[in-house]
């Protein structure tokens, strides 16, 4: 590991989805001043970096992932001056700011696209992909063909996501230059890193029918981030399709591309054919198998991994993977322990730190997410209404986009009447209650994070899976030459553990115990080996 990689392993990141975090002026939409109000709350958790989902100008067809101006702030969120205050307040508290960077597409309302669609000889025409006939049968991630007919010039353009999210043509050197300029604009304003949206899609391979991981991907990423001006940044690529070989190329320390990446092998467990609306049975062993596989791979290749179970595109982890009713506290803390003490950079998604569970609704008006609403309208498998809603509740991205529940007052303490209904369990699960509770998920996260940050075994230390052929439990070691920790995470059933070691308990979610014996459902514990 290089010095830079070791620096990155000391990060603990908190993701803010600004629209749903905190509304400071009562218009029902979260905003930058709301984030400023809550910076101490975030900081007290022990995190040292914030990833902010897009806050740029946008018509919000895909909640800000459709950008119409890369250099300015969305009106509802505030102004550039608010943003400058926000980053200054973060830096004052020792927290880095990681901005979201959407390079694969713009909004159809972006000036480039407005010009581009006007005529075939418009100077911006080649900023996007225009063709006489669809080149292939690529489907939009949000449903329907990825090729949209446009009357003005009687041609089609490519949109891998919403119709209002045309794909940028990265083969055009002008597009490359524009995007480099956008990075530099924010770097000059002091940002510390970027989370790069669907980054592996910026290079496509039409001949081989690949809409990601095209032949020029590494070249494009180096243009963006392989420069002296960007050397200090922490850069994470969202790379759904990255396989072993590409992961090495994308994140190798000597490659000057990415610091780390998100891949989703452990996240898509439970999604039949990778489809979030297609629930299939699984066990937590299926999940830990993936974690083990990638921990080993990343370590063997000296790469920095990301550690996460949630983000703004995924259901709440207690609901999807564990128990969100009588064992909610145990589930939330066990899932966090299972993930965040491994080797890599932990990412916490807003609300995860109080064990927020999925909402449930069988009313289409409660949904906002374009992917979910399209799924409902298209009903591709012709399901009856009940089954349709069951699948929607299982995988909808709205599950993590309900307003943050700060307390049990009106609108869950979020602000004005929110743009999406409040979370239906907010009276039972909210920040105020959790902080007061005997079993506080937030307080457990605090201990977990400080344990991680204060012991090098969890930063630079080696990872070793010692689960053996046991089922229903995940046991791993983190160690340096001087210290060794054992992390035990039990799944939904009681499990007996018998390991001959002499160690002391340092953290647990079920009270005092010793390493051997019976673990109750969702119990977890961390031990330090005695010298």
Residues designated as active site: 197, 238
| Rounded CA separation 161/176 (Å) | 20
Shortest distance (Å) from residue 312 CB to ligand GLC = 6
> Reduced to 3 states, what is the DSSP secondary structure of residue 506?
strand
Angle (CA) 477-478-479 rounded to 5° is 115
3-state SS string for 248-278: HHHHCCCCCCCCEEECCCCCCCCEHHHCCCC
Residue from 8, 13, 20, 23 binding Ca ion (CB under 5 A): 23
Residue from 313, 353, 368, 434 binding ligand GLC (CB under 6 A): 313
The CA distances from residue 27 to 151, 338, 380, 419, in Å, are 37, 39, 36, 9
Partners of 489 in beta bridges: 474, 524
Residue span 182-221 as binding mask against ligand GLC, x where in contact by CB under 6 A, dash where not: ---------------xx-----------------------
Establish if 492 lies at the interface with Ca ion (CB under 5 A).
Answer: no
Residue from 161, 170, 194, 308 binding ligand GLC (CB under 6 A): 161
CA dihedral 327, 328, 329, 330 (to 10 degrees): 50
Considering the complex, state which of residue 355 and residue 415 has its C-beta at the smaller distance from Ca ion. 415
Shortest distance (Å) from residue 359 CB to Ca ion = 21
| Rounded CA separation 109/226 (Å) | 30
Choosing among ligand GLC, Ca ion, none, which partner's interface includes residue 197 (Cβ < 5 to 8 Å by kind)?
ligand GLC
Establish if 236 lies at the interface with ligand GLC (CB under 6 A).
Answer: no
**Dihedral angle sign, alpha carbons of residues 405, 407, 412, 416:** negative
- Tell how strand 484-490 and strand 524-529 pair up: antiparallel
Considering the complex, state which of residue 393 and residue 411 has its C-beta at the smaller distance from Ca ion. 411
Choosing among Ca ion, ligand GLC, none, which partner's interface includes residue 29 (Cβ < 5 to 8 Å by kind)?
Ca ion
Nearest Cα to Cα of residue 244 among 263, 219, 217, 267: 263
Considering the complex, state which of residue 36 and residue 250 has its C-beta at the smaller distance from Ca ion. 36
| Rounded CA separation 385/389 (Å) | 6
Choosing among Ca ion, ligand GLC, none, which partner's interface includes residue 519 (Cβ < 5 to 8 Å by kind)?
none
| Rounded CA separation 299/512 (Å) | 32
Shortest distance (Å) from residue 150 CB to ligand GLC = 20
Shortest distance (Å) from residue 106 CB to ligand GLC = 10
> Residues 19, 30: contact at Cβ < 8 Å?
yes
Considering the complex, state which of residue 61 and residue 523 has its C-beta at the smaller distance from ligand GLC. 61
Chain mean position to CA 161: 18
The values of phi and psi at residue 26, to 5°, are 75, 15
Choosing among ligand GLC, Ca ion, none, which partner's interface includes residue 192 (Cβ < 5 to 8 Å by kind)?
none
* Count of residues near ligand GLC by CB under 6 A: 9
Contacts with ligand GLC in 52-111 (CB under 6 A)? 62, 65, 102
Residue found under tokens 């603990």: 12
CA dihedral 189, 192, 197, 203 (to 10 degrees): 90
Establish if 429 lies at the interface with ligand GLC (CB under 6 A).
Answer: no
Nearest residue by C-beta to ligand GLC?
65
Considering the complex, state which of residue 35 and residue 183 has its C-beta at the smaller distance from Ca ion. 35
Residue span 303-342 as binding mask against Ca ion, x where in contact by CB under 5 A, dash where not: ----------------------------------------
| Rounded CA separation 345/195 (Å) | 13
The CA distances from residue 62 to 108, 294, 311, 373, in Å, are 12, 30, 15, 12
Considering the complex, state which of residue 220 and residue 519 has its C-beta at the smaller distance from ligand GLC. 220
> Residues 463, 439: contact at Cβ < 8 Å?
no
Choosing among Ca ion, ligand GLC, none, which partner's interface includes residue 510 (Cβ < 5 to 8 Å by kind)?
none
H helices within 425-489, ranges in order?
A: 431-436, 441-454, 456-459
Residue from 29, 199, 212, 284 binding Ca ion (CB under 5 A): 29
Contacts with Ca ion in 31-90 (CB under 5 A)? 31
Shortest distance (Å) from residue 65 CB to ligand GLC = 3
Choosing among Ca ion, ligand GLC, none, which partner's interface includes residue 257 (Cβ < 5 to 8 Å by kind)?
none
Shortest distance (Å) from residue 29 CB to Ca ion = 4
Shortest distance (Å) from residue 529 CB to ligand GLC = 40
Choosing among Ca ion, ligand GLC, none, which partner's interface includes residue 27 (Cβ < 5 to 8 Å by kind)?
Ca ion
> What tokens were used for 442?
């937030």
* Count of residues near Ca ion by CB under 5 A: 5
Residue from 7, 27, 72, 171 binding Ca ion (CB under 5 A): 27
Residue found under tokens 């891949």: 263
Residue found under tokens 């229903």: 472
Establish if 409 lies at the interface with Ca ion (CB under 5 A).
Answer: no
* Residues making contact with ligand GLC (CB under 6 A): 62, 65, 102, 161, 197-198, 238, 312-313
* Residues making contact with Ca ion (CB under 5 A): 23, 25, 27, 29, 31
């Amino acid at each position: 590991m290089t010095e830079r990689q070791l620096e990155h392993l000391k990060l603990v990141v908190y993701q803010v989805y600004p629209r749903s975090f905190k509304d400071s002026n009562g218009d029902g939409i979260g905003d930058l001043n709301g984030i400023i109000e809550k910076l101490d709350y975030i900081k007290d958790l022990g995190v040292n970096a914030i990833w902010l989902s897009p806050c740029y100008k946008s018509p919000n067809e895909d909640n800000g992932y459709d950008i119409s101006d890369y250099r300015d702030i969305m009106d509802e969120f505030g102004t550039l001056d608010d943003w400058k205050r926000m980053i200054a307040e973060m830096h004052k508290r020792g927290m880095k700011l990681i901005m979201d960077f959407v390079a694969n597409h713009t909004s159809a309302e972006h000036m480039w696209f407005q010009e581009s669609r006007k005529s075939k000889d418009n100077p911006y025409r080649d900023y996007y992909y225009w063709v006489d006939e669809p080149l292939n049968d690529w489907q939009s991630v949000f449903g329907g063909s990825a090729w949209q007919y446009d009357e003005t010039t009687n041609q089609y353009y490519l949109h891998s996501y919403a119709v209002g999210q045309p794909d940028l043509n990265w083969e055009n050197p002008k597009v490359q230059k524009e995007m480099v300029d956008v990075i530099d604009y924010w770097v000059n304003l002091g940002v510390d890193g970027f989370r790069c949206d669907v980054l592996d899609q910026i290079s496509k391979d039409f001949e081989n029918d690949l809409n990601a991981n095209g032949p020029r991907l590494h070249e494009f990423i180096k243009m963006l981030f392989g420069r002296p001006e960007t050397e200090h940044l922490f850069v994470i690529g969202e790379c759904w399709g990255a396989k072993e070989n590409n992961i090495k190329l994308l994140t190798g320390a000597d490659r000057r591309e990415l610091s780390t990446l998100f891949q989703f092998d452990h996240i898509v467990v439970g999604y039949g054919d990778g489809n979030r609306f297609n629930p299939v049975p699984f066990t937590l062993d299926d999940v830990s198998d993936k974690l083990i596989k990638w921990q080993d791979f990343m370590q063997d290749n000296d790469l920095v991994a990301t550690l996460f179970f949630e983000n703004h595109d995924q259901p709440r982890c207690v609901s999807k993977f564990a128990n969100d009713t009588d064992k909610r506290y145990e589930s939330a803390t066990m899932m966090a322990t299972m993930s965040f003490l491994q080797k890599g950079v932990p990412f916490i998604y807003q609300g995860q730190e109080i064990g927020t569970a999925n909402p449930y609704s069988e009313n289409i008006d409660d949904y906002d997410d374009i992917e979910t609403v399209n799924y409902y309208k298209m009903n591709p498998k012709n399901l009856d209404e009940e089954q349709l809603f069951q699948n929607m509740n299982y995988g909808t991205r709205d599950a993590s986009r309900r307003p943050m529940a700060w307390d049990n007052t009106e609108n869950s303490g979020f602000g004005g009447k929110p743009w999406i209904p409040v979370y239906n369990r907010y009276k039972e699960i909210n920040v105020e209650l959790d902080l007061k509770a005997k079993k506080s998920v937030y307080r457990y996260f605090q201990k977990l994070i400080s344990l991680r940050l204060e012991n090098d075994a969890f930063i630079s230390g080696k990872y070793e899976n010692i689960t053996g052929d046991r089922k229903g439990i995940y046991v791993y070691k983190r160690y340096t030459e001087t210290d060794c920790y054992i992390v035990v995470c039990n799944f939904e059933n009681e499990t007996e553990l018998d390991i001959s070691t002499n160690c002391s308990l340092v953290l647990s979610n079920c009270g005092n115990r010793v390493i051997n014996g019976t673990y109750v459902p969702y119990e977890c514990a961390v031990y330090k080996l005695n010298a």
